[in-house]
Structure 1
Amino acid sequence: MSRAVIYQTFGDPEVLELRDVPEPHAGPGEVRVRVSVAGLNPMDWIVSSSPEAAAMFGVTAPAGFGYEFAGVVDEAGPGADGFAVGDRVYGGAMAKAAADFLVVGAPAQAPDALYRTPDGISDEVAATLPVTGLTAAAALQAIGLRAGDTVLIGGAAGGVGVFAVQLAKLAGARVIGTASEGTFDFLRQLGAEPVTYGPGLADRVRALAPDGVTAATDLFGTETVGAALALGVPPERISTIAAGPNPPGGVRATGGSDAGPADLDRITGAILAGRITVPIAATFPVEQIRDAVALQAARHTHGRILLTL
């Protein structure tokens, strides 16, 4: 037997249970991963709390929980391509990550993903990359971010925002990030100029950047999209990850699936070079899954929340 976080019905964190389950095994073209760390994302608890959101990802209850993981391959089925027992790996497995073991295709089929963990990258850091790292890269690529830009990043202190701010700075852009005042010092440490979100955002940004904003990405909703349009940013230089496939104003909708392994190589290279930091806000043992998800859902942490197994 092994353990996995399971929910029988959709609901708040109280529906999540750590249960003994039959130990899975790798079949043809698959590997089994002994999971050491699972990274939590807002998507995880949104899926487990909403049957409508779950349906968008092909998840039905009862289900497992979590997407991002890191660990070691401990079984390889016949025909598994490119991975062997003992390989350190990370990636994503829909509704499977918060478990002692998970089975994933090798190569993985979307929405699952499987990558080798580079030497020097810890499992804790690796378990933050498949969603937040790739989503940040896609958000900036969608607007053609370049050196000399002044970019407005909405939700700059969130999990995706932490990567977006640092990638934008590496690209040579000036970064203005929306956040609550409690995160201002944190954002300044990442190289962003913080501005309070909420009504009047466009006026506050205009005062901070009187020469104008040239690009924007909204990582939370549509408030930053509206402010950027009001500031005269062309729609093709505004992206959003959380406004659905048809965002307002003709701006560009994107997500992590629009980025890929080359972007992960670039991000892990920057981490190894000390040019990107990955803040970890809290780490919980998997037995405290409900507490971890409640903290994640409150959206007040600076950095990622991890589960250890």
Structure 2
Amino acid sequence: MRKVSFAEFGGPDVLQLIDAEEPHAGPGRIRIAVRAAGVNPVDWRIREGQKLGAHPTELPSGVGLDAAGVVDEVGEGVEGVEVGDRVFGEGACTYAEFTVLSAWARMPEGLSFEEAAGYPSVVETALRIIREVGVQPGQTLLVSGASGGVGSAVLQIARDRGITVIGTAGAANQDYLRGLGALPTTYGEGWVDRVRQLGRIDAALDLAGSGVIRELVELTGDPQKVITIADLGAPDLGVRFSGVAGSVPAALSVAADLISRGRLHIPVERTYTLAEAAAAHVDSQAGHARGRRVIVP
């Protein structure tokens, strides 16, 4: 089978499309024929060699955590899923024609494989950081870098829970944020004052790592009311970096429920082939997404 791999840490150019042996489903696992794989910032952070405790990496390594596809092997002890089922979930080395999943759920009706591949990690992350930051119904949450995959999920999950969200994004994405139920504003000079004009901030999330931690602490009045998933230097300012995943099966269940109720939809901004994985990483690192990027084998 074909899969994307890298033998050394570095820039996007270290990614190679290689022929590899097919993986097989061990106990408690399933294998899928991949129809689409989600592109996440953690993918290129791992490729660069960033020290992410939740994702130790041995070289050579495959790439990717999220995927959607058709079950074609069911491991020992697995119940409730059969060969031929359409599922989405999380595993390892998902930029490939086949991958093994450790967590999965059946795809909701009407969801394409490309859309489904964009949900697992971002919904788990969104649920985790909303919980960790402690924001409650009736309060106001500020989301810095709100238009990407995690931001899109945070905005919609928060809205479903009765939380007001103020989101920062580029000028081109203001209507997109508004459509997801957020009060939008642009970043750049004067953004702190623009946020203050929109309301009192009870908690804040940094999703872009754009050097705004001090301002988020200023707006909330307490570093414990700020969480980042993108700024590795934030702990120096007393702000928690959230990087250890919670229950992925539980997150997939929540995602399926929200999608089925029409309360969650994350659009696919662009698809790439396996051979275009490096380009997908370049675009992901550049940011400014509106939704998700996915790879289609």
TM-score normalised to the size of structure 1? 0.85
Residue 267 (structure 1) aligned to one of 240, 252, 255: 255
Q: CA deviation at 1:251?
A: 4.1
After superposition, the C-alpha distances for 1:83-138 in whole angstroms (9 at most, x for unaligned) are 332222222223x101111234xxx3xxxx33333344332222112211111111
Equivalent residue for 2:230? 242
Aligned match of 2:77 in 61, 76, 79? 79
**Pair 1:248–1:220, CA change in 2 (3 A):** farther
Q: Secondary structure at the match of 1:58?
A: coil
Whole-angstrom distance in 2 between the partners of 1:272 and 1:16: 36
CA separation of 1:178 and 1:129: change in aligned 2, threshold 3 A: same
SS at match of 1:270: helix
d(CA) in 1 for partners of 2:251 and 2:75? 28
CA distance in 1: counterparts of 2:20 and 2:213, whole angstroms: 45
| CA distance in structure 1 between the aligned counterparts of 2:220 and 2:6, rounded to whole angstroms | 46
State the identity as a percent: 40
1:155-184, CA deviations, whole angstroms, 9 ceiling, x for partnerless residues? 111221111111122222221112222222
Q: How does 1:85-234 map to 2 (within 5 A)?
A: 85-94=83-92, 96-104=93-101, 108=102, 113-198=103-188, 200-209=190-199, 212-221=200-209, 223-234=211-222
Matched AA of 2:14? V
Cα 1:63–1:218 shift into 2, 3 Å: same
Quote how far apart the aligned CAs of 1:154 are: 1.0
**What code does the residue aligned with 1:32 have?**
R
Counterpart CA distance in 2 for 1:124 and 1:289 is: 15
Query: CA 1:23 to 1:254, structure 2 compared with 1: closer, same or farther past 3 Å?
Result: closer
Shift of 1:256: 6.3
User: How many angstroms apart in 2 are the aligned matches of 1:97 and 1:195?
Assistant: 35
Structure 1 residues 52, 273: CA separation in 2 closer, same or farther (over 3 Å shift)?
A: closer
Structure 1 residue ranges without an equivalent (≥5): none
- Separation in structure 2 between the aligned mates of residue 92 and residue 260 of structure 1, nearest angstrom: 8
Separation in 1 of the partners of 2:49 and 2:220? Answer: 38
Output the aligned Cα RMSD.
2.5
What residue identity is the alignment partner of 2:23?
P
Amino acid in structure 2 at the alignment position of 1:157: S
Higher relative contact order (CA 8 A, sep 6+): 2
Separation (CA, whole Å) in 2 of partners of 1:15 and 1:125: 27
> What TM-score, normalized to structure 2?
0.88
Specify whether residues 221 and 291 from structure 1 end up closer, same or farther in structure 2 by C-alpha distance, changes over 3 A only: closer
Instruction: Number of aligned residue pairs: give it.
Output: 297
Determine helix, strand or coil for the equivalent of 2:133.
Answer: coil
| Distance (Å, rounded) in 2 between the aligned partners of 1:62 and 1:239 | 32
> Which amino acid in structure 1 is aligned with residue 91 of structure 2?
A
Provide structure 2 residue ranges, at least 5 long, that are not aligned to the other structure.
none
